[in-house]
Amino acid sequence: MMEDLEAGITRWPAELEKAYVEAGYWENRSLGEQIFAVADQFPDRIAVIDPDTGLELTFAQLCQRADAAAARLLALGFQPGDRAIVALPNTASFVILLLGMLRASVLPVLALPSHRHFELKTLAIASGARAYIASDVVRGCDHRDLGKRLQEEAPSLEMIIIEGEPLAGQIDLMDLLAPPKPAEIEPLRKRFDALDPPASQPALFLLSGGTTGVPKLIVRTHNDYVYNVKASLAVNEFLETDVFLAVMPVSHNFPLACPGVLGALLVGAKTVITASPNPVKVFPIIAKYGVTHTALVPAVAQSWIDYQHLNHTKDLITLETLQVGGSRMPDSLAIKVNGVLGAHLQQVFGMAEGLVNMTRLTDPEVVINTTQGRPISPADEVRVVDENYKDVAPGAEGEILTRGPYTPRGYFAAPEANAKSFHDGWYGSGDVVHRRPDGNLVVHGRNKDIINRSGEKISAEEVESFIYYIEGVSRAAVVAMHHPILHEDVCLVVELTGRQELTVSEVTDHLDAFGVARFKHPAKIIVVDHIPMTKIDKIDKKSLRDFVAKQLS
Ligand code: AMP
Ligand code: DBH
């Protein structure tokens, strides 16, 4: 129920909430209601295309299915405010389900299909989710069995909802998402219009790629999330005649809401949603549907550039704007985007916690190629501070702090994490930046113990905690190492006692047994006599990273 959630949410100060409404940042209209209003304007336009299944839905059909899904969710026993973990790959089903959940005020906890037992169990416990919603088999992982196992350990998970072929006792997602009978359409519409939630309520939960072992959930309210999307739309210059390609996992804030799928829905434009970013598969899709905009991580942008450079396809003629973000885009890669892909680059430095920075399409080339942009809203506040939270001199490097109308004031029900990451209402992402006189930010690195593996954030501490269970490991440190494609990958440095060796495959088996997502597994292990320590007896990650870089060069 909604009331139960409130205790876990840190709200903005009341006077600021009022100011955000008065300034028009917060419209007091829910996300679902706004998408339905757009659909009423353009009922016959195509809203979603899923080239992998061939499904195409107009705005009217999408909304009808969403209302039908909402009714079926309530019939299953869900109540407004209940949570369900959604770990679907990129399919049209995701979009129908998301809108259906918005209509029923059942809150999606947006997880990844690559998450495994460990992540999902912790998420289920942290969110109190009543259901796990996934595809039957994704890249060799059977989510039906995974769901069964999860239910044993996370008692809140009453329902497993599966796209494909569910096991006995599990619910078929297709039954949930099927179109309503014609006679049901109007009554369903009336019913869920009447249940439209206040925009101050949570719309969904995003995951933070946090620094601690505990997954951090970010509650995004209708008011703040709609504004996130609309401010992104304006800066991305995405229009109703454009076509958005969702090809990075849409559970991520970037392809979902910056402006992403939700942006396309809110302007009445087409979304093409597909699972593989492989250029061999995706380039023909771009050509077929006339894709104009998409959002990628640098590693995927690199693969597109390499492919196009070799093949000189004519597939990208309609592509106008390529957003790249999630991890630092090397300047040397940025420079190639326009020449090779024929699209304008927009660098995006954002976070599920809120603040989104973008370069502007009208910026000089040098700004677009060498900076990560500036805040998308005039109400975003950014400070660059030293280790004592004092502002650094203009232009100097420091850690970024931010607050604003779409940057929540705390994680969900996580006082300890909040004490670390929020300072007097300012969110500290741990990114080290400098701000240029023109306001653009350049990301130099980070003061947080994560590995950014092609946009997926991995907590070093989390991985280390599992390594200590391996027999003979007396000290373990996980650090980033350079990877030519992913830019960063996971390296494990260990001190061993009573054994000489530790192999990658042993560690992988070990982490698999704990159900840790594969993308977090170390790709390289270095055995040392002594892991360097700081004066206060903590692992010296900085010198360890330098050591690893030297070892591998
Ligand atoms: P999360 O909090 O999991 O949403 O991840 C957000 C983090 O991703 C930021 O705090 C940055 O560390 C990183 N990030 C996102 N975009 C960029 C970018 N364009 N350049 C460098 N780092 C980025
Ligand atoms: O990495 C991210 O989380 C991210 C990247 C770009 C993000 O949340 C965003 C834009 O909004």
**Whether residue 326 has its Cβ less than 6 Å from ligand 1:** yes
**Whether residue 455 has its Cβ less than 6 Å from ligand 2:** yes
Query: How many Å lie between the centroid of ligand 1 and the Cα of residue 496?
Result: 34
**Whether residue 352 has its Cβ less than 6 Å from ligand 2:** yes
- How much of the chain exceeds pLDDT 90, in percent? 97
- Does residue 217 contact residue 207 with C-beta atoms inside 8 Å? yes
Residue 209 banded pLDDT, cuts 50, 70, 90: confident
Please give the average per-residue pLDDT across 503-528, as a whole number. 97
pLDDT in the model for residue 212: 67
CATH of the domain at 473: 3.30.300.30
Residue 153: inside a domain: yes
Residue 348: inside a domain: no
Residue 542: inside a domain: yes
Question: Would you say residue 311 has pLDDT above 70?
Answer: yes
CA 120/CA 153 separation, integer angstroms? 10
Q: Which of 433, 442, 453, 446 is nearest to 299 (CA)?
A: 453
**Whether residue 327 has its Cβ less than 6 Å from ligand 1:** yes
Q: Which two tokens stand for residue 86?
A: 């959604």
Q: Residue 126: CB partners within 8 Å, gap ≥ 6?
A: 214, 215, 217, 412, 413, 414
- Does residue 359 contact residue 345 with C-beta atoms inside 8 Å? yes
Residue 433: inside a domain: no
Q: Which two tokens stand for residue 51?
A: 């080239």
Residue 319: inside a domain: no
Residue 440: inside a domain: no
CA distances to 53, 94, 164 from 272, rounded to whole Å, are 12, 12, 21
Protein residue whose Cα sits closest to atom 9 of ligand 2: 350
Residue 431: inside a domain: no
- How much of the chain exceeds pLDDT 70, in percent? 99
460: three-class secondary structure by DSSP: helix
- Of 275, 290, 322, the one marking the end of a domain is 275
pLDDT in the model for residue 34: 98
- Of 252, 275, 298, the one marking the end of a domain is 275
Whether the full predicted model's pTM is greater than 0.85, yes or no, is yes
Protein residue whose Cα sits closest to atom 8 of ligand 1: 326
Residues in the chain, how many? Answer: 553
**Number of domains composing the chain:** 2
Residue 287: inside a domain: no
| Strand partners for 479 | 491
Torsion of CA 232, 237, 243, 249, to 10 degrees: -30
Please give the average per-residue pLDDT across 452-481, as a whole number. 97
Domain membership of residue 46 as a residue range: 2-275
Best residue among 300, 399, 401, 431 to mutate for probing ligand 1, ranked by most atoms within 8 Å of CB: 431
Please give the average per-residue pLDDT across 432-461, as a whole number. 96
How does DSSP classify residue 378? T
- Of 255, 275, 295, the one marking the end of a domain is 275
Of the chain, the end-to-end C-alpha distance in Å amounts to 54
pLDDT in the model for residue 3: 73
Taking each helix axis from N to C terminus, what angle separates 92-104 and 59-75, rounded to the nearest 10 degrees? 60
CA 427/CA 72 separation, integer angstroms? 38
CATH of the domain at 57: 3.40.50.12780
DSSP string, 479-511: EEEEETTTEEEEEEEEEESS-S---HHHHHHHH
CA distances to 98, 105, 220, 459, 486 from 199, rounded to whole Å, are 16, 11, 10, 33, 38
Q: Is 35 exposed, middle or buried (0-12, 13-18, 19+ CB in 10 A)?
A: buried
**Whether residue 350 has its Cβ less than 6 Å from ligand 2:** yes
Name the E strands within 111-199.
131-135, 137-138, 141-142, 159-163, 171-172
Q: Which of 131, 198, 140, 133 is nearest to 162 (CA)?
A: 133
Question: Would you say residue 1 has pLDDT above 70?
Answer: no
Residue 2 banded pLDDT, cuts 50, 70, 90: confident
